[in-house]
Amino acid sequence: MSPYLFQKAQKARQHTFAPDQGRYVLRDGEYSVRILSLSMKGGLVVVATLFASASFACTCIFSGAFEVFAEQHPVIVRGKVLQHGERIPNNSGYFKTMTIVVSDTLKGSFPYSTFEFYGDTGMSCLRYITLDDYPVGSEHLFILASDESLQPLMVCGESSLLINGDTVQGRVRDGGGYGTYELNLGELMERVR
């Protein structure tokens, strides 16, 4: 019989095993200890439940494309990727952070000329920072969660757009994957201010 749960109980004077409603009670001079037996099936169910709850991926309700998501947040900036931080182990091309140089604040107040985004490391509900999405030197419009110098790279809405000349490029959920789109940069900037 495998011990599963021990409880402190009243002091007892003898050291004996006594049945207690289908359980066994160990009595010694200090404590009575209840030893519950757990069947193999029950043990497996408990272990499977613990592991299953820890293995769920991030789930959030997608809050919309850039313009819709921007309405829900206080700050929008235009910035350029200056550098990437430490790489995520075993994931080439993925980084824990990136530094952004701010060239313009489109919405709200943002007191910093540079700031740092932190992305998903495999255990967060954030967007991954990748070389493909955020190459050094690329310019973007970013939606920020606050006016702090350390920002989460949000994933539950379109939180950034790549600036390409006088257009911005974004991606939006399209059925099971993502589709891309382009908008005029000047017109979009006027709408989100």
What is the 8-class DSSP label of residue 88? P
84-87 contacts at long range (C-beta below 8 A, 24 or more positions apart): 84/129, 84/131, 84/134, 84/136, 85/116
Residue 122 pLDDT greater than 60, yes or no: yes
Residue 106 pLDDT greater than 50, yes or no: yes
Q: Is residue 48 situated within a structural domain?
A: yes
40 in the same domain as 82: no
Whole-structure pTM value: 0.70
Residue 152, domain extent = 66-192
21 in the same domain as 39: yes
The values of phi and psi at residue 57, to 5°, are: -80, 170
The answer to whether 3 and 35 are in contact (CB under 8 A) is yes
168 in the same domain as 74: yes
Question: At which residue do the structure tokens 């790279």 appear?
Answer: 153
Q: Is residue 3 situated within a structural domain?
A: yes
Confidence label for 160 from pLDDT (cuts 50, 70 and 90): very high
Burial label, 117 (beta-carbon count in 10 A; 0-12, 13-18, 19+): buried
How far apart are the two ends of the chain, measured CA to CA in Å?
Answer: 68
- DSSP line for 39-56: -HHHHHHHHHHHHHHHSP
91 in the same domain as 50: no
Residue range 76-85: mean pLDDT, rounded: 98
Q: Is residue 114 situated within a structural domain?
A: yes
The answer to whether 80 and 103 are in contact (CB under 8 A) is yes
pLDDT, residue 185, reads 98
Residue 78 pLDDT greater than 50, yes or no: yes
The answer to whether 117 and 97 are in contact (CB under 8 A) is yes
* Per-chain mean pLDDT for the chain: 79
Q: Give the CATH number, domain containing residue 148.
A: 2.40.50
The answer to whether 33 and 5 are in contact (CB under 8 A) is no
Q: Is residue 184 situated within a structural domain?
A: yes
Q: How far apart are CA 79 and CA 151, in angstroms?
A: 13
Q: Is residue 73 situated within a structural domain?
A: yes
Q: Is residue 61 situated within a structural domain?
A: no
187 in the same domain as 140: yes
112 in the same domain as 163: yes
Between 171 and 35, the more confident residue is 171
Q: Is residue 148 situated within a structural domain?
A: yes
Domain count for the chain: 2
Q: How far apart are CA 146 and CA 149, in angstroms?
A: 9
Domain termination site, one of 36, 56, 76: 56
112 in the same domain as 151: yes
154 in the same domain as 108: yes
74 in the same domain as 51: no
The answer to whether 69 and 63 are in contact (CB under 8 A) is yes
Give the other-Cβ count within 10 Å of 22's Cβ.
Answer: 7
Q: Is residue 128 situated within a structural domain?
A: yes
Residue 135 pLDDT greater than 70, yes or no: yes
77 in the same domain as 39: no
